[in-house]
Structure formats: C-alpha cells, structure tokens
Structure 1
C-alpha cells in the first residue's frame, strides 16, 4: 500500500531540502506494492513518514541526525523529559550550541545529544542545520517567541511507527545502504542537490559535501538497481547536468515545482524546478 493510515508520524525537524512541500507530488509515483522501502538520504523523513512502509531501511551520513532517530525509537520517555529542560533564551542557546566545542560533548549520552539537536533546530535561525569545517554547529539564535521544542504527539507517533514496524536505521554511505535491495524493493533517493549556480551549493550539512563525482556514483548505482529489478525514484535539482546524466541511461524524468523555505537569502526562497527520476511506469 502507498500509505499506512494508522500512523500520524511526520517530520519532527525542519531540514534543508525537506520534502514536506513536494510530498503530494512524490506520492503520485510511489509504487502500490513494495517489499522493502529504502531511503539512503532520509533527512527529516517526510517521504518515509508519508509512505509509512512496514519494512524499511533508512540511512543518513549525518551521525547527529541518525542518533536522534535511534533515540526516538529506543528511549522516547527520556528524550521527552530531557527536552523539557531547554530555555528559549539567547544566552542559554549559545551555551548549548557551543557544547560541541568543549570536552564535555563526548561525555553526553545519546539522549542528551538528541535533545540538543532538536532544541537547536527549533530555536536556531530559520531551522537550519549547518556545521563549520570542524564539524561544530554554527547557526545563530533565531529569536522566535514561542518555539515548539517539545512536540510530544509527533515524537510519540514517530516512536510508535518505529516500534510497530521493521525499521532498520543506518549511518553510512548511500551505496552500502542498498546493497541488499532486490527485485520488488523500492528506493527513494533525496541526495544533496546539484547546485543551480556557483553560489547556491549547500555543503555544510556534513563535512564531506556532495560533489559531481558523487552524483555520478549515485547515477551508476541507479543503473545497478535497475538491473537488479528494483524500482527507484530520485529527487534532484533540474540542472542540465542532472537531466543529461539520467536521460543518457534511458530513465524517465519529470519536472516538478517545489517550495524552498530554508535559505539564508530571502530572495532565494520560493518556487524552483526540480526533477523526479524513475525507472518504471508511474501509476
């Protein structure tokens, strides 16, 4: 089935490149029948939660993000309790933000680290996750009047979904995530996007970035998955480069319009063209 209506799980973080706005369009192309659902760049999980598959393998290279998912799955009560301690105050915000610059940070528990990331995400400027060259969170205070740091219903819904279904959570390379994918499985790829201009690339999500060499490696993985009989759907920016490398392999490309609300420059927010690449006939 496309969706599992039993769950109201939804993204609990604001995330650059999040697919909440594009979800209705994406869901038009999700296969009716899926054995195992794979999402190697899970991010905030809008598509995962929108589909709510019973069997899924999710992954992200961002270890902080994956820790949050793991804690929600395994230790929801402790997480909710820890979130209640946070204050919407600039002095407190910078104290918590700067923990990863201290010797204290490695001693924090998984729950404390997850609580910190959710708190920073809800109170930092524009809900942006960004790190500097040392891997330290560096987004300033957002000055919001009443941020919803403890969204208990949503966190509990995600916990319930993880507990009642077979969800494997990984933190590694996208290629390794789908090494067991086979015929009847479905893979949704939402990689860091190919920049539409020389100044638009967002590479501060992790220390490694995602260059064109990686875009080619991802394209070649799609070719391999196609040979295995897997169905895949991939989102990316509608650049000539992206359209060319997938068209030359015979894959179907759909142009869709998406809203982008996370950008440090206000004029760069709004509607932009994206592509959906797939290797099967859409429903």
Structure 2
C-alpha cells in the first residue's frame, strides 16, 4: 500500500535512524517469516523497518508493537494522531537550524519540552542532525550525542512522515510503552513475535545498549531466552535477531531453535570501514 501525495508515491519507512535498524535486512527477514500467522508482535520496536514492511505488504495485518523508550513510543503515537502539528514544529526547527546550526542544536539538546508535539519534534530533529544519527542517552536519561557534520540534513521528511501517519492510522496497530516480557500475556498460538533487542556486545569496545537509560544486560538476555521458551510452549512462532556472539549462540543452541548466520552492515559506526563484513544471527523456532 503506497500513499499518494500529489504525484509522489511513498512507501513508509523508518522516520528515525536507530542503532541496529533492519532496513537493509528486510529481504532476508521477509524470507524467514512464516507463511501464515495471527497477530504480529514486536516488543523492541526501534525504527520499525519490519513493521512498515509488514503493514505495506500485508494489508489488514493485526500488529501489537511496543518499546521501553517512552519518547520513541510517543513519537509513533504523535505521528499517527497529530501529523500536521508535528510537521509545522519540525519546519520551525529547520528554519532555526539553518540560521545557526551549532548553537541551535545544543540549545534543543539541552531543552526538555513537556508537550507531546515538541517532545516528538525534538527527538526527530536531534536524530536527523546529531552525529551518525545515533540515539543514545546517559545514565540520567539525557540525550548526549554531539552535533553531526551535515551540510543540509533532511529535518522535515514530510512525504515519509505523512505516509507513516497514514499507514499507522489505517492499520489499527496497537502501540504501547512496556517491557518486552509483557508480550507473554497477549501472544497466542500461531501469533508471530519478532525480537530485535539491543545486541550483546561482540567485543569489549562494542558496548552499545543505551537506547534508554537502562542498559540491556546479560541478565536481560537470559530473561529474553526464558521468555522465548515460554512463547514456544504456547505455540507462538518466535523470530529473534542478535549479534553473532558466543553467548547468544550458546543460549539458543538447543531444540527447537534454528540459528542462521546472516551478513549485515552496521550503519552506525564512527569508522565507516567498520560498517561492513559483520554477521548477525537469526534465530527461529519454526
């Protein structure tokens, strides 16, 4: 389902860059989806690449999506419900940024808006103008990424935002802010649950788990593995992405899990030479 604005056909795609985003892996993920399934659950929503693909390809697919990052969840809801207000707020960010990008960027980074439109437009603005499009907060929950080196960043991607708004409105996807374990209460036999958690570090320097001010720890990974087993025993179909790490491979080494290694470029690495040649794991029980 492509949305038409004027003569432009726009397929909805992620409106934020997110570490571990799945846009480039969509063809492989698509091949690995079950032929049929009930409700689609995605408890680590992030940029939502697979969600947008799913809603575009499978008209009427029932979806339940969630994330623990409350600002991100608010963004999805604001784009769905208040797109015109959001776009005019982003346009005013764009105008001010063009006057004096550096001082304006840091003043927005320091700001702490209370209203939903301003919160969402701040998140999108910072994501579009910060270094590497990296969303990261410190232990106090403050966004702490420096300004990026862009000559003309696309701050108001109006066609895509309207397309995302339109598909979220028409899909009746339920959007919640909650911990990933909550999915166990809702998922039923033959539903599909896709987990794309913050990845386990594969090296000492690769500690990249701070999308919220709570790190995703090894204990969380074990909690996730237990949850996958419980979902399997309910008859759910489970698909999981993670880093090609020894710990992950060991935890999912037994039946019913099937592990395949897939090639993936990491779009977020300060050294562009290190963005290629990576493998990650795709794990499923069907």
Please say if residues 38 and 178 of structure 1, whose CA atoms lie closer than 8 Å, have aligned partners that are also in contact. no
1:19 alignment partner, one of 19, 22, 34: 22
Deviation at 1:266, TM superposition (A): 4.0
Please say if residues 79 and 165 of structure 2, whose CA atoms lie closer than 8 Å, have aligned partners that are also in contact. yes
- Secondary structure at the counterpart of residue 224 of structure 1: helix
Is 1:34 the counterpart of 2:37? The answer is: yes
Q: C-alpha distance in 2, partners of 1:72/1:120?
A: 16
Is 1:142 the counterpart of 2:148? The answer is: yes
* Equivalent residue runs for 1:1-283 within 5 Å: 8-52=11-55, 54-86=61-93, 87-88=97-98, 89-100=101-112, 105=113, 108-280=114-286
- Secondary structure at the counterpart of residue 84 of structure 1: helix
Q: 1:249 to 1:212 in 2, by over 3 A?
A: farther
Deviation at 1:42, TM superposition (A): 0.7
- Which structure has greater helix proportion? 2
CA offsets per residue over residues 10-60 of structure 1, 9 Å max, x none?
A: 111111110011111111011222221000001000111111152101111
- Quote the residue 2:7 is aligned against: none
TM-score normalised by structure 2 residue count: 0.91
Please say if residues 210 and 216 of structure 2, whose CA atoms lie closer than 8 Å, have aligned partners that are also in contact. no
Deviation at 1:179, TM superposition (A): 1.7
Please say if residues 19 and 46 of structure 1, whose CA atoms lie closer than 8 Å, have aligned partners that are also in contact. yes
